[in-house]
Amino acid sequence: MKISGMTYLIVTTMILLTVVVFSVMNFSFSWVFYLTVIGQILLVFSVYKVLTDAYSTDKTFKDFYEDHPIGSEE
């Protein structure tokens, strides 16, 4: 099963939000530190996965936003 780049971003976001909650709740420094390090590594990895993902689209800049088309309505 292939995990998409967005899944990595969601997991990374959850880990880094957990770091914030742990630091506010005065958890042990080691928990906060290791989760921060893991979160930073996951952030770099997830950005790499998103940028190297095999994604293609037929949309161009002229299409602008799909919910509010301007100019090139067909």
The pLDDT of residue 50 is 86
pLDDT averages per 10-residue partition of the chain, 74 residues:
84 93 94 94 91 80 66 56
Closest CA to 49 of 15, 12, 9, 14: 9
Domain annotation covers residue 72? no
- Residue range of the domain that includes 20: 5-63
Domain annotation covers residue 68? no
Domain annotation covers residue 73? no
End-to-end CA separation in angstroms for the chain: 39
Domain annotation covers residue 70? no
Residue listed under structure tokens 């095999």: 54
Domain annotation covers residue 20? yes
**Count: domains in the chain:** 1
Domain annotation covers residue 59? yes
The pLDDT of residue 4 is 82
Domain annotation covers residue 69? no
- Does pTM top 0.85 for this prediction? no
